A and B are shown apart, each in its own frame.
Chain A
Amino acid sequence: MLDYDVKYLKFKTYLSTYCPHCHNSFNVKQKDHDIIKFNAKFKGKDMDLHLSPYLDVFEVESTVPIEKDETLEDLICPNCKKSIVDVNQPCQECGSHTAQVIISAYSKLIPFYICLKYGCEWHGLSKADERHIKLKIPRQEMPEQDQKLRVQNFQEVPYGLTTELALLEAGRCLQCKNPKCVDGCPVNIDIPEFIRLITEEKFDEAAKKIRERNILPAVCGRVCPQEDQCEGVCVLGIRDNPVAIGNLERFVADYERKMDLIKVPSIKKIPNKRVAVVGSGPGGLTCAADLTLLGYSVTIFEALHQAGGVLVYGIPEFRLPKAIVEAEIEYLKAMGCKVELNHIIGNIYSVDELLENFDAIYIGVGAGLPMFMNIEGENLSNVFSANEYLTRINLMKAYRFPEYDTPKPIGNKVAVIGGGNVAMDCARTSLRCGASEVTIIYRRSRKELPAREEEVVHAEQEGIMFKLLTNPIKYIGNDANWVKGVECVSMTLGEPDESGRRRPIPLEGSNFIYDCDMVIVAIGNGPNPIIFNTAPDLERNKWGNIIVNPDTMETTKEFVYAGGDIVTGAATVIEAMGAGRIAANSIHKKLSGKTKKA
């Protein structure tokens, strides 16, 4: 008879990434801080947990005395199906009666604990069982900042998955043999493989896997419209919710960055091959990264004083922290890519001048010319383009005015025109800047809102109001030329137009006035003409977008390539990245092939 000596059960688990009290995340710098103590209930019993905030993972060490009758029935070896800490029965698999028990993330749903023999691995379930269990795991919700608190700050709204949640979520992936998600991704990330690596807790390898295809994982995990891409085609989505691929991507990328695992690869330079990338948005960065990896000397030219394009001037801090973008750009610089800020191509150098110094050019200048509806009163004070509003707040950090010098626009009752992601960003930003009432005015119905579902839900949670099927026709000003209201007309939906969405038709006589003291027009952007001042030979279509061969991204001018919004009109971050990648490949083919420049 063996003595029962498992008097103290030592267990490890991953708890929240965030302080349970203040909801702030602990960051790396707090590594050396004191151990945090708090009470928790375990099996209905109060006990003291000692948390050492080690990076993202709390290792919980507890030495609560386990009485003989407690918990034993829960601790069953999945293999032998017998209690492994039974008084008389050692685990048949391990032969150990002092088995360390790790309560893994699976423990919540899978009715066995995992038995470990000093590190021996999860032993087995049959494939069918595994699938059965997987299908039972619900999609894991990302922990988020409290709705009431978050509208008062600019901190990121979702906290990111904890390791526990990530393991659970990754466990849902069925590892399809012919994964549709990979095709759904514009840069074809090997999604099942990186998820499999997560389930094995090889987070660093998972990150490497993503980086093979995507240099901005932390960004894409946050801003991609996954529901229309990878997650939209996930087979789990047919009967249930798809795997949260975006959240997992973000988890892996954040883990990699916080653990400082990002390694700069050694690159063999190709001598005397120089490529200029115009614009440091997502497309330009991808193109630059790919070419740098191939050994080209790449120089990025950015017009603003900070690199990142729409990632820094457009997308707000609470949706994409700027430190993340900075880290990605630092990575690129560490690989040897040059970034020239404050360089407006078209003004400081013409395209032809660039061609004198570079073997090829990639133009990824985005859609940077705000559209207006050309209705009365658009030039009233406190009527902004979304670009101006967001640039003030994000790039110039006016939300920290007067600490930062750029004035923060003041609006109490704000109307945002448009229904895309940018409109949601503007609405949620103005709320954080102190507006008491924010309304989105959109001419179609909720179903047609072009914004990501998550953004719409967040906006609704935060109390943003939606005036749907409504279109502004005139802005009304006071004597000081300050906007005081929007005259709107109600709409109804007619037959689908060429975009496939139902065409909105104004209802005659339904005019009404919505009182407001600030208006943000977020109805889209056209191509910025500056670069064309000096390159009239770049052919453009009737909307002013550059014409390219979609297979190679080559423009009508030899050695000049273009992609992203300047080609397609306003679209998404990942689509621009996809274009940047195609262009990088064709530039490589062109410059390494026989069609060398004379």
Chain B
Amino acid sequence: MFEVVRKQEMAKGTIIRFEIAAPKIAQKILAGQFVILRVNETGERIPITVADVDKFGGTITIIFQVVGKSTALMRSLDVGSFIKDVVGPLGKPAHVQKVGTVIAIGGGTGIAILHHVVKAMKEAGNFVISIIGAREKEMLILQDEMNLISDELVIMTDDGSYGQRGFVTDPLKKYIQERNDIKLVYAIGPIIMMKNVCKITEKPRIETMVSLNPVMIDGTGMCGGCRVKVDGKTQFCCVDGPDFDGHKVDFDELEKRNSMYLKQEKDSLLFSIR
């Protein structure tokens, strides 16, 4: 049993931040790695990449958007309540080393994962330019935290209610034109966003890493539900990823595979409301 020690509601209560006591995992987990949670006996296994970790306090931080039954169930947990199972660390850590200038791009709740990676990138001595985006001002998360760890921070909103109006790809294009020292782009967010980022960085051949979040069950390579096509070959996201070379990922297939359970997800939500 894993206790929720802190809870914060963000983005009008649609995004939740949990700090969970998991001392063993906190000792081991690195940026880019994920955990799988199961809230209760009937719950599903939910893979979530950690947003932060406190080794000394023995806690991990996760940030998730409430989109369906399971995330709604998680939101209903208060401080002091327990999550039945937390397993991790899972996946390979983000490949962090000193490369020079890094552009880190996060969209929506992707910013949460980006936070952990940027922290590590910064610690490794990189110059980190962060571009974070959301639909509107209220939906933007972690801007103060990102500001603290980034050398430069650009904020984008779809409707222009905060920062600049537009998508995260707009300032990326600008940076690529202005600077020729960009060694790495790291993008985490909706599939369409990562796909567009990769399109932009493909021509100038800037190495681009993306963090994928396909449907998975066990997270240990056992089920193969999380298969993604990378460079024409099938890879298991849970053990070979979640980070992949964005230029080689088949995003279209991923998007279609991720919508495999839309009907069941709706049914599940309806069932829980009834």
Contact = CB atoms under 8 A, between A and B. Distances in A.
B24 A396 contact: no
A552 to B, nearest CB: 28
Interface in B63-87: 69-70, 73, 84-87
Given A348-B89, A410-B263, A480 B222 contact: no
Given A303-B87, A405-B70, A369 B221 contact: yes
Given A410-B263, A529-B221, A405 B69 contact: yes
A402 interface: yes
A316 to B, nearest CB: 15
A528 B257 contact: no
A528 B90 CA distance: 14
B224 A385 contact: yes
Interface in B232-274: 234, 239, 253, 256-257, 259-261, 263-265, 267-268, 271-272
Contacts of A347: 28, 88-90
A402 B267 contact: yes
A348 B28 contact: yes
Interface in A324-366: 341-344, 347-348
B116 interface: no
B234 A372 contact: yes
Given A379-B253, A385-B223, A391-B222, A305 B85 contact: yes
B181 interface: no
A56 B85 CA distance: 37
Contacts of A407: 44, 261, 264-265, 268
Contacts of B271: 402-403
Given A369-B222, A410-B263, A381 B234 contact: no
Contacts of A405: 42-44, 69-70, 73, 268
A481 B257 contact: yes
B221 A530 contact: yes
Given A402-B267, A402-B268, A529-B221, A382 B260 contact: yes
Nearest to B40: A405
B264 A401 contact: yes
A150 to B, nearest CB: 25
A372 B90 CA distance: 23
A8 interface: no
Contacts of B220: 303-304, 344, 368, 528, 530
Nearest to A479: B256
Nearest to B274: A402
Q: Is the interface of B mostly helix, strand, loop or mixed?
A: mixed
Nearest to B222: A368
A251 interface: no
Contact of B234 (A305, A378, A408): A378
Nearest to A342: B87
B264 to A, nearest CB: 3
Q: Is the interface of A mostly helix, strand, loop or mixed?
A: loop
A387 interface: yes
B218 A379 contact: no
A381 B256 contact: yes
A384 interface: yes
B193 interface: no
A77 B242 CA distance: 78
Size band of the interface chain B makes with A: 35 or more
Contact of B42 (A303, A381, A388, A403): A403
Interface string A393-408: 0011100011111111
B44 A379 contact: no
A392 interface: yes
Contacts of B88: 344, 347-348
A252 to B, nearest CB: 31
Nearest to A346: B220
Nearest to B239: A530
A143 interface: no
Contact of B84 (A305, A368, A410): A305
B165 interface: no
A455 B132 CA distance: 55
B45 interface: yes
Size band of the interface chain A makes with B: 35 or more
A370 interface: yes
Given A305-B38, A305-B85, A407-B261, A528 B222 contact: yes
Nearest to A303: B220
Most buried by A among B38, B69, B217, B263: B217
Given A372-B224, A379-B227, A401 B268 contact: yes
Given A379-B234, A405-B43, A481 B253 contact: yes
B217 A406 contact: yes
B25 A392 contact: no
Nearest to B216: A388
B55 interface: no
B163 interface: no
A387 B253 contact: no
Contacts of A341: 85
Nearest to B43: A405
B224 A529 contact: no
Interface string A63-74: 000000000000
B6 to A, nearest CB: 21
Contacts of B85: 305, 341-342
B225 interface: yes
A402 B24 CA distance: 33
A84 B86 CA distance: 70
Given A379-B229, A407-B261, A348 B224 contact: no
A40 to B, nearest CB: 43
A341 B86 CA distance: 10
B157 to A, nearest CB: 32
Contacts of A313: 218, 222
Contacts of B42: 397, 403-405
A313 B260 CA distance: 22
A284 to B, nearest CB: 15
Interface in A569-587: none
Contacts of B25: 348
Interface string B21-53: 000110010000000001000111100000000
B149 to A, nearest CB: 26
B225 A384 contact: yes
A524 B135 CA distance: 45
B221 A528 contact: yes
Given A381-B257, A391-B222, A396 B45 contact: yes
Contact of B222 (A370, A384, A397): A370
Contacts of B45: 305, 396, 406
25 contacts: A303-B220, A304-B87, A305-B84, A341-B85, A342-B87, A343-B87, A348-B24, A348-B25, A348-B88, A370-B223, A370-B224, A379-B228, A379-B229, A379-B234, A379-B257, A385-B225, A388-B223, A396-B44, A402-B264, A402-B272, A404-B42, A405-B42, A405-B268, A528-B221, A530-B220
Q: Which 5 A-B pairs have the closest CB atoms?
A: A407-B264, A388-B223, A481-B256, A402-B271, A342-B87
Given A403-B42, A405-B42, A410-B263, 20 more contacts: A303-B87, A305-B84, A305-B87, A344-B87, A344-B88, A348-B28, A348-B88, A348-B89, A379-B234, A381-B259, A387-B224, A388-B217, A391-B223, A392-B217, A396-B44, A401-B267, A405-B73, A480-B256, A481-B253, A530-B220
